[in-house]
Structure 1
Amino acid sequence: MTAVRFQVAALAAALALCTAMTGPVLAQKKYDSGASDTEIKIGNIMPYSGPASAYAVIGKTEEAYFNKINAEGGVNGRKIKFISYDDGYSPPKTVEQARKLVESDGVLLIFGSLGTSTNGAIRKYMNEKKVPQLFVASGASKWNDPRQYPWTMGWQPSYASEARIYAKYVMKEKPDAKIGVLYQNDDFGKDYLKGLKGGLGAKASMIVLEEAYDTSEPAVDEHVVKLKASGADVFISITTPKFAAQAIKKAAEINWHPMQIISNVSASVGGVLEPAGIEISQGILSASYTKDGSDPQWNADEGMKKFYNFLAQFDPKANKLDAGVVFGYAAAQTMVKVLHMCGDDLTRENVMKQAASLKDFEPDTLLPGIRINTAPDNFAPIEQLQMMRFKGKKWELFGDIISSDTGH
């Protein structure tokens, strides 16, 4: 009996020793710069001024979303400190702000910074420093290059993939089309143009004129006049919001009524079509992966109910018609999901590891059926879109959800 008691006691002591040894290991917290028991510092760079300032609303919405998370207790008990700087959409300024965030503010990561050329200017720096450049707000194909740039990941569908979808649509609906293209003379515009030509393939000769504009130009009116003069009956507008609205206005002014397709980045009702004019925007085509905050069809949608509640409580001045608000909410929600997945291992390496292992994640404001999936060799979180046409005061979705990867 005594021997049995001794064995039990010895076993209990051994278990206690095991627990003592493994306890701290299990509970061990790992932090890099910008993370602690109480806080997670996230950096962000936005064009709060300059030619792309229409997108500033994305940063403001993300800040409001993180305020919501903090009000609810934070992420695993840690509050998010969101530090967002203005770069005026100028790459040299972006470099300056990225250095400030990493070297002075000591952020854990930079999240959701906007722009193709601007993010391109800091990509090498971020990868050399091994600081996550996460969920870049730009659809450039180059953000999906985990082998060469393992610390940089995009979020939205790539511009080239979206353009391939438009190419397939035009070839099907208007096989003898004459296409006129207005594009921004930078990485954003060139990526789209490349995708468009790739999608047209042997039919690339359907493009009768390519007109490039610089963001430093006050207006694109002259380019639109040239496109009409080319005899184009399809107008593909690869433009950012300010210039997209100008192009819609000018086309109507000179009585040019081609099939008009605008890039998703300028499909905002509040940010582009209202300023251009609702009447003259009828019938314009685009593609989307997010729900439209102005569309009553989503009023009963559970995800959008959460979105509207968020706006009422944390961002009451936001314009729900602005697609940037819907975008910022979903991107911030994805970021918070990754931070939750990190648990107590808030190292930069683990942040990238978790970001590269998202499975069928569905932010509240993405279209039904569109899910976020990533893998160590796939840094393109969203690869699906649906075509839409502007009618009345809203976008009407049509056709199937298309995988932008293949265009099927």
Structure 2
Amino acid sequence: MHCTSAQKKYDAGATDTEIKIGNISPYSGPASAYATIGKVQAAYFKMINERGGINGRKISYVSYDDAYSPPKTVEQARKLVESDEVLFILSPLGTAGNSAIQKYMNAKKVPHLFLTTGANKWSDPKGFPWTMGFLNNCRSEADVYAQYIIKTYPDAKIGLVYQNDDFGKDFVVGLRKGLGDRAKNIVAEMPFESTTPTVDPLIVSLKASSPDIVFHISTPKWVAQGIKKIGELNWKPIQFIPSTSTSIVNTLKPAGFEYSQGVLSASYLKDPNDPTWASDPSIKEFLSFMDKWYPDGSKADTLNVYGYAVAQVTAQVLKQCGDDLTRESVMKQAANLDMPIDVLLPGIRIKTASDDYQPLEQMQLMRFSGEAWQLFGEVIGSRD
């Protein structure tokens, strides 16, 4: 589908006036806390359209619910590619759902871009050139925690409660690798399926092994349950949670602020709840964006900062494409980024290359205190 004019090149989903982007989000089901990412992106593109679009083209953002169910993810991806004819699919959420569509997207040669999942397999430009993650992958994030544990708690016994899927398993692999010979300090591992209604019984079993450190490796619902149960048992281990579950609104508030004190994690984003950024221009801009374009969204939810950051990077990719809006050009530009994003922590950049499909590779540790996260230490790069 090439245009008559020599300079302009289009694939399905792009014209002189429009760029059609697809998205799949869990608007219902067990991971619906993440639905706000799709909503904040829709709001961001609406704002861009109001300001004249990108290179004169308006963004049409088509988002469907998959209820965090892989068969449904497949159905929605097919619909977006074959009926809606989108140029690409942006930040679909979850490891299982994205695993279910990865081969399809690559066979169709449709960009499967900036996935909201930290599994390792999204940075495989040789095997899957049409798929690119966004987050620090689970192994590199786990390595950041491993470096901290070796330095701070070298002899602590460690217990793991993890989602029995690529996300959980990758995290455990990264942790074991990062801990090196200290991996022998892992005294208990409790996997669970994403159909599990509650992790409470696992927490009770875990306590029997009396680890000093507990890792909750899962999504907000189960992380909140785990923290709450530990609190109810009046047990006081050091607790770590993955960056994907650090939302105060969806994880720590439901767990109970009294039980969440001292919980550790890491981030790459500025948190609007952190007084450090109260007068930061980028956070002020984010807050006024929320007021105007997504008033129903929570300004305290870091998932909204994340969705906003991804939308900014996507806009940059499209700017770089210019009038070459082919799917190949989208992937080429996505793999040619080196930019700061103002809502990322100082010292952290988005960087990709044709042989490096991991936009984020640095994080800073943080501790939950009062009703907010507090950053500490230096920005740490993964050794993974």
The answer to whether the superposition gives a TM-score over 0.5 is yes
Superposed displacement of residue 51, structure 1:
1.2
Question: For residues 264 and 139 of structure 2, what CA distance do their matches in structure 1 show?
Answer: 17
Superposed displacement of residue 308, structure 1:
1.0
Deviations 1:331-358 (A, max 9, x none): 1111111001111110000001111100
Question: For residues 132 and 120 of structure 1, what CA distance do their matches in structure 2 show?
Answer: 14
Deviations 1:15-51 (A, max 9, x none): xxxxxxxxx64xx211000000111000011111111
Question: For residues 87 and 317 of structure 1, what CA distance do their matches in structure 2 show?
Answer: 22
The residue type equivalent to 1:384 in the other structure is: Q
Contact 2:154–2:182 at 8 Å: present in 1 too?
Answer: no
Partner residue, 2:241: 262
Question: For residues 39 and 192 of structure 2, what CA distance do their matches in structure 1 show?
Answer: 28
Runs of 4+ in 1 over 6 A off after TM superposition: none
Contact 2:362–2:380 at 8 Å: present in 1 too?
Answer: yes
Partner residue, 2:168: 189
Q: 1:298 aligns with which of 264, 269, 277?
A: 277
What runs of 5+ residues in structure 2 fail to find an aligned partner? Answer: none
1:38 aligned onto 2:17: yes
The residue type equivalent to 1:376 in the other structure is: S
Superposed displacement of residue 215, structure 1:
1.5
Question: For residues 230 and 323 of structure 1, what CA distance do their matches in structure 2 show?
Answer: 34
SS at match of 2:378: coil
Question: For residues 13 and 366 of structure 2, what CA distance do their matches in structure 1 show?
Answer: 41
Question: For residues 403 and 169 of structure 1, what CA distance do their matches in structure 2 show?
Answer: 12
Question: For residues 249 and 69 of structure 2, what CA distance do their matches in structure 1 show?
Answer: 25
Contact 1:306–1:364 at 8 Å: present in 2 too?
Answer: no
Larger displacement relative to structure 2 (341-350 or 273-282):
273-282
Pairing 1:157-306 to 2, within 5 Å after superposition:
157-306=136-285
Deviations 1:360-408 (A, max 9, x none): x12232111110010000000010000001111111111110112x17x
Contact 1:44–1:83 at 8 Å: present in 2 too?
Answer: yes
Partner residue, 1:21: none
TM-score by length of structure 2 reads 0.97
The residue type equivalent to 1:247 in the other structure is: G
Question: For residues 236 and 171 of structure 1, what CA distance do their matches in structure 2 show?
Answer: 15
SS at match of 1:401: strand
The residue type equivalent to 2:97 in the other structure is: T
Partner residue, 1:12: none
Partner residue, 1:385: 363
SS at match of 2:24: strand
1:87 aligned onto 2:60: no
SS at match of 1:209: strand
Superposed displacement of residue 228, structure 1:
0.8
Partner residue, 1:143: 122
1:122 aligned onto 2:129: no
Superposed displacement of residue 216, structure 1:
1.0
Superposed displacement of residue 310, structure 1:
0.6
Contact 1:271–1:323 at 8 Å: present in 2 too?
Answer: no
The residue type equivalent to 2:381 in the other structure is: S
Partner residue, 1:152: 131
Contact 1:66–1:332 at 8 Å: present in 2 too?
Answer: yes
Question: For residues 75 and 253 of structure 1, what CA distance do their matches in structure 2 show?
Answer: 52
Deviations 1:192-251 (A, max 9, x none): 011011111112111100001112111110001111111111001101000111111000
The residue type equivalent to 1:185 in the other structure is: N
Q: Percent identity at matched positions?
A: 58
Structure exhibiting the larger radius of gyration computed from Cα positions:
1
Partner residue, 1:394: 372
Question: For residues 301 and 291 of structure 2, what CA distance do their matches in structure 1 show?
Answer: 15
SS at match of 2:297: coil
Contact 1:33–1:107 at 8 Å: present in 2 too?
Answer: yes
Cα RMSD (Å) of the superposition?
1.0
